[in-house]
Amino acid sequence: MSTLESVREGYRTFDDQRYAPFVKGVALFALLAALPYIIEIDVAGMELAATLSLKVLILTVIYAYTAQSWNIMSGYTGQFSFGHAAFFGVGAYATQLLLTDVGLNPWIGMLIGGLLAGLYGLVIGALTFRFNLKGHYFALATLAFAELLRFVVTNMSELNGANGYFKPFPRDYGAEYGLAAFQFQTDLPYYYIILGFLLVVTVVSWAIKNSWVGLYFFAIREDERAAASVGVPSFRYKLVGVAVSAFFTALGGAYWSMYFNTIRPDTVFALFKNVEILLPAVVGGPGTLIGPIVGSFIVTPVSEVARTTFTDINGLDRIIYGAFLVAIVIYSPRGVVSWPSRARALWSRLKGDEEVSE
Amino acid sequence: MLELEGVRAGYDEIEVLHGVDMHVDEGEIVALIGSNGAGKTTTMRTICGILSPSHGRITYRGEEIHTKPSHEIVERGIVQVPENRDLFTNMTVMNNLLLGAQTDEAIANREENLAEMLDLFPRLEERKKQRAGTMSGGEQQMLTLARALMGEPDLLILDEPSIGLAPHLVQEVFDVVEEIHQQGVTVLMVEQNVQQTLQLADRGYVMENGRITMSASGSALLEDDSVVEAYLGV
């Protein structure tokens, strides 16, 4: 049967095409791995590192990572979360609490934090999806769940209230500086660890996008009622999305707690943390694989450099975040990564070509 | 095969169906006709679990299904083609078709069914990598039918499959429905093209104001004076 063969052939070319992004991905991550050395190159007596320091790079990759995690839920299934700080904070607090009070290795504490965040995600999902909250109402509900945790933690003396935790030294939990202790005396190893995190979540995202789960996610994002009427169990798949997303976001929080010395409710559960997590994905292109990474490299360095340069203007970084958010939502809701194809379309229109891609 | 007993349903406070009794037997084509607002689409949605009835019961092969969510009803072999087509317009034709397969069996036979659909609807073969929303209305309707068939339905529920189509496409849709029926699929359809529908159908129900007011064979309804007067515009 010839059509059947052509379908199989189609499946095979589909498989081949799947591996084309692999080459691009390797190139991208090679570039990211080389960045700490690139910023130290001396160009006309000026090092890039003078303004774009390794610290800023680390922060940029952290937010690329959390945006990639946010994307799995909000970019793929279309359930826009404004409360991912909840998961971020749970990861940070679980890791530090287990480390300080129990002496549990942060690598294990981090996974427990991830599972707890996933569980919290399931609770939020079960409550909101059951009552079919959508759009703005859903976003506000997720924000409420995040703020709820901030208030609870701030007022719980068992969790040191507003003071939070101070990261112990490695010897306090029987370890030496190094990979096993998740603590280093220089920034460079920290950079490669968060880059490794980003690699893992990007590969997971890619696998989801190319699986049946991804097809269901996108069907739900496209038209949830239609998805239900063809028989996609949308409630279940939305829960899968929120749980996976929460798990990875929590690992980001755990990393944050190990890289910075202290965590407090008003840093890891901060209202603004919600924006910092989602903005790179929204700017870069929600639902795309590269969008969160590109977006973070646009948003984070600009706001960080502005914040540290113009120290007398309080809150400049937030103004910049706000400006990005407004501009991108109005002018390019599909994000920066849609610009090349839009430019090509514009170019071919200018040339007067009949053929317009997309 | 499918039985509705005293089904009352509606939207929030507004009751649309005031006690509907009807049944569909294995291997039949059953038509549901009636004027706008009579409750035909509401009936379809209630069967498919998108709405749940406040009273009465719906059984499928002896099992109550009106308490089940829609994806579980699909798993039992009832697939609906909704009136507004409900395609995923930003996804490719291929992905739309793949999404039609939801039961374990349908997923197992996905490749074969896909090949069969592309044979049955050659236009879709040409356009399989195109986004569904870029196709014409007729092509979209064919895609909706093909997607429903990917689910290997035992009972196919069609809500106005020919709505908004040019006359020659209307005929094509009816031809496809007949072919699907000949392959052993039971069909329940709502249609505005009363004449063509009743010619094709084994039995028909007339619905008015949320109640079934008449039930007879397709040909008998075609000859009934009140039906002719009300729906055939003579």
Domain boundaries, chain A: 1-38, 54-280
Asked if residue B181 lies in contact with residue B187, where contact means CB atoms within 8 angstroms, the answer is yes
Whether A313 shows a pLDDT value over 70: the answer reads yes
Helical (H) or strand (E) element with B24: strand B14-24
Average predicted confidence (pLDDT) for chain B: 89
Among the partner residues B95, B102, B111, nearest to A7 by beta-carbon distance = B111
Whether A299 shows a pLDDT value over 50: the answer reads yes
How do residues A240-292 score in pLDDT, each as one tens digit? Answer: 999 999 999 999 999 999 999 899 999 999 999 999 999 999 999 999 999 99
Q: What is the pLDDT of residue A8?
A: 67
When mean pLDDT is compared across A311-325, B4-18, B128-142, the lowest value belongs to: A311-325
Q: What is the mean pLDDT of the segment spanning B82-105?
A: 87
Among the partner residues A215, A223, A235, nearest to B95 by beta-carbon distance = A215
DSSP class of residue A172 equals G
Q: What is the pLDDT of residue A72?
A: 97
Contact A219 B125 (CB under 8 A): no
Average predicted confidence (pLDDT) for chain A: 89
Q: List CB contacts (< 8 A) between B147 and chain A.
A: 230
When mean pLDDT is compared across A37-41, A154-158, B41-45, the lowest value belongs to: A37-41
Whether A40 shows a pLDDT value over 60: the answer reads yes
Write the CB contacts of A214 (distance below 8 Å, at least 6 apart in sequence).
A76, A208
**Reported confidence tier of residue B83, pLDDT bands at 50, 70, 90:** confident
In whole angstroms, what is the distance from residue A237 CA to residue A227 CA?
Answer: 11
Q: How many residues does chain B have?
A: 234
In whole angstroms, what is the distance from residue B227 CA to residue B220 CA?
Answer: 10
Strand partners, B18: B8
Q: What is the pLDDT of residue B132?
A: 92
Among residues of chain A, what percentage have pLDDT more than 70? 92
Contact A10 B125 (CB under 8 A): no
Among the partner residues B88, B125, B128, nearest to A226 by beta-carbon distance = B88
A339 by Cβ neighbours in 10 Å (0-12 / 13-18 / 19+) ranks as middle
Asked if residue A92 lies in contact with residue A100, where contact means CB atoms within 8 angstroms, the answer is no
Disruptive mutation site among B48, B88, B95, B126 for chain A (greatest number of A CBs within 10 Å): B88
DSSP-based three-state secondary structure for B166: coil
Whether A11 shows a pLDDT value over 70: the answer reads no
Q: What is the pLDDT of residue A119?
A: 97
Whether B234 shows a pLDDT value over 70: the answer reads no
Q: What is the pLDDT of residue B233?
A: 64
Q: What is the pLDDT of residue A323?
A: 86
Write the CB contacts of B21 (distance below 8 Å, at least 6 apart in sequence).
B4, B5, B6, B7, B212
How do residues A203-227 score in pLDDT, each as one tens digit? Answer: 999 999 989 899 999 999 998 888 8
Q: What is the pLDDT of residue A58?
A: 96
In whole angstroms, what is the distance from residue A292 CA to residue A279 CA?
Answer: 8
**Reported confidence tier of residue B231, pLDDT bands at 50, 70, 90:** confident
Residue B86 near chain A (CB below 8 Å): yes
Q: What is the mean pLDDT of the segment spanning A17-40?
A: 85
B4 by Cβ neighbours in 10 Å (0-12 / 13-18 / 19+) ranks as buried
Whether A357 shows a pLDDT value over 80: the answer reads no
Token pair of B144 as six digits: 């909706």
Q: Which one has a higher pLDDT value, B84 or A194?
A: A194
Q: What is the pLDDT of residue A189?
A: 95
Q: What is the pLDDT of residue A9?
A: 66
Among the partner residues B86, B100, B118, nearest to A223 by beta-carbon distance = B86
Q: List CB contacts (< 8 A) between A1 and chain B.
A: 115
Q: What is the pLDDT of residue A73?
A: 96
Contact A3 B119 (CB under 8 A): yes
Asked if residue A120 lies in contact with residue A249, where contact means CB atoms within 8 angstroms, the answer is no
Q: What is the mean pLDDT of the segment spanning A192-212?
A: 95
Helical (H) or strand (E) element with B148: helix B137-150
Q: What is the pLDDT of residue A176?
A: 86
In this structure, the dihedral spanned by the alpha carbons of residues A294, A300, A302 and A303, taken in order and rounded to 10 degrees, is: 150
Whether A92 shows a pLDDT value over 90: the answer reads yes
Q: What is the pLDDT of residue A356?
A: 45
Asked if residue B21 lies in contact with residue B4, where contact means CB atoms within 8 angstroms, the answer is yes
In whole angstroms, what is the distance from residue A144 CA to residue A154 CA?
Answer: 15
**Reported confidence tier of residue A358, pLDDT bands at 50, 70, 90:** very low
Domain B1-77+156-163+186-234 has CATH 3.40.50.300: yes
How do residues A333-343 score in pLDDT, each as one tens digit? Answer: 888 988 888 88
Domain ranges of chain B: 1-77+156-163+186-234
Residue B108 near chain A (CB below 8 Å): no
Contact A218 B91 (CB under 8 A): yes
Which of A42-51, A59-68, B165-174, B184-193 has the highest average model confidence (pLDDT)?
A59-68
Residue B120 near chain A (CB below 8 Å): no
